[in-house]
């Protein structure tokens, strides 16, 4: 056997040994995925389990439990439905949000007929309709061009999964109270033309009459 052939055999064996060591130590067939769970509004309740790392294929049952004064509304993200218990299969990283509402709220009787939830607005760009949801974040960008007031429904800025109500400075005086203070924490219904800015659905309003507080 020539030295060249012997060297080739040694290299091949070395590579095979390295591959075996890597497989034994890292076990790629035992892949794990991350489950991220959140609650909206944060003070409204809890979810068990609260997330974590799970092996691929693991089935996880989530249970949403409302705190006093709230009821469970729906799941959003990698799960859907209005039952407070849902089972998912961990075949990828998943993010799930449990939405709660005030116990004395009644969407069927208080929210306007034909209205849509804030997370549905992205499917209605260019339509004039009424969008309802909780104001979880609000600010007056007094240092920005046009000095707009932003009311973010569903998720706070800069979360890309949110709906925004915009009040420009020339219309701000139409509101008897500072909108960012008055509407924060409330569930509102806003009527207008749904447009899109930087892939975020929004409605521009001029008067308080365009915003209902059901």
Residues 70 and 40 in one domain: yes
Residues 133 and 163 in one domain: yes
Whether residue 18 is contained in a domain is answered as no
Are the CB atoms for 166 and 204 separated by under 8 Å? yes
Q: Which pLDDT score is estimated for 213?
A: 82
The span from the CA of 55 to the CA of 45, in Å, is 27
The span from the CA of 85 to the CA of 9, in Å, is 58
Are the CB atoms for 112 and 133 separated by under 8 Å? no
The per-residue pLDDT for range 168-187, each reduced to its tens digit, is 999 999 998 999 999 999 99
Residues 61 and 97 in one domain: yes
The per-residue pLDDT for range 8-28, each reduced to its tens digit, is 566 566 776 766 565 555 555
**Closest of 212, 190, 187, 188 to residue 102, by C-alpha:** 187
Whether residue 181 is contained in a domain is answered as yes
CATH number at residue 195: 2.40.50.140
Q: Do you find a cis peptide bond into 146, omega within 30 degrees of 0?
A: no
Give me 138's structure tokens.
């609000």
Residues 84 and 129 in one domain: no
The span from the CA of 74 to the CA of 47, in Å, is 12
Residue 179 backbone phi and psi in degrees, to 5: -55, -35
Structure-token match 């203070």, residue found: 181
Q: Which pLDDT score is estimated for 106?
A: 45
The per-residue pLDDT for range 46-99, each reduced to its tens digit, is 999 999 999 999 999 999 999 888 889 889 889 988 889 999 999 999 999 998
The per-residue pLDDT for range 186-196, each reduced to its tens digit, is 999 999 999 99
Q: Which pLDDT score is estimated for 19?
A: 60
Residues 146 and 55 in one domain: no
Q: Which pLDDT score is estimated for 80?
A: 84
The last residue of a domain, from among 52, 78, 102: 102
Domain that holds residue 72: 32-102
The per-residue pLDDT for range 95-142, each reduced to its tens digit, is 999 988 877 644 444 678 889 999 999 999 999 999 999 999 999 999
Residues 118 and 161 in one domain: yes
**Number of domains comprising the chain:** 2
């Amino acid at each position: 056997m020539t030295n060249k052939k012997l060297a080739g055999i040694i290299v091949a064996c070395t590579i095979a040994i390295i591959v075996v060591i890597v497989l034994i130590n890292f076990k790629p067939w035992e892949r794990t995925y991350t489950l991220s769970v959140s609650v909206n509004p944060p003070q409204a309740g809890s979810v068990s389990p609260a997330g974590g790392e799970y092996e691929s294929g693991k089935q996880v049952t989530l249970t949403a439990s409302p705190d006093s004064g709230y009821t469970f509304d729906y799941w959003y993200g990698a799960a859907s439905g209005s039952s407070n218990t849902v089972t998912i299969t961990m075949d990828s990283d998943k993010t799930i949000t449990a939405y709660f509402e005030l116990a004395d709220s009644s969407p069927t009787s208080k929210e306007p007929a034909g209205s849509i939830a804030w997370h549905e607005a992205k499917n209605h760009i260019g339509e004039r309709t009424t969008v309802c949801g909780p104001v979880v974040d609000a600010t007056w960008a007094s240092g920005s061009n046009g000095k707009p007031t932003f009311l973010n429904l569903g998720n706070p800025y800069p979360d890309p999964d949110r709906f925004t109500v915009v009040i420009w400075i020339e219309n701000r005086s139409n509101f008897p109270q500072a909108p960012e203070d008055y509407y924060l924490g409330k569930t509102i219904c806003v009527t207008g033309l749904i447009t899109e800015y930087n892939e975020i659905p929004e409605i521009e309003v001029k008067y308080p009459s365009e915003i209902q507080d059901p």
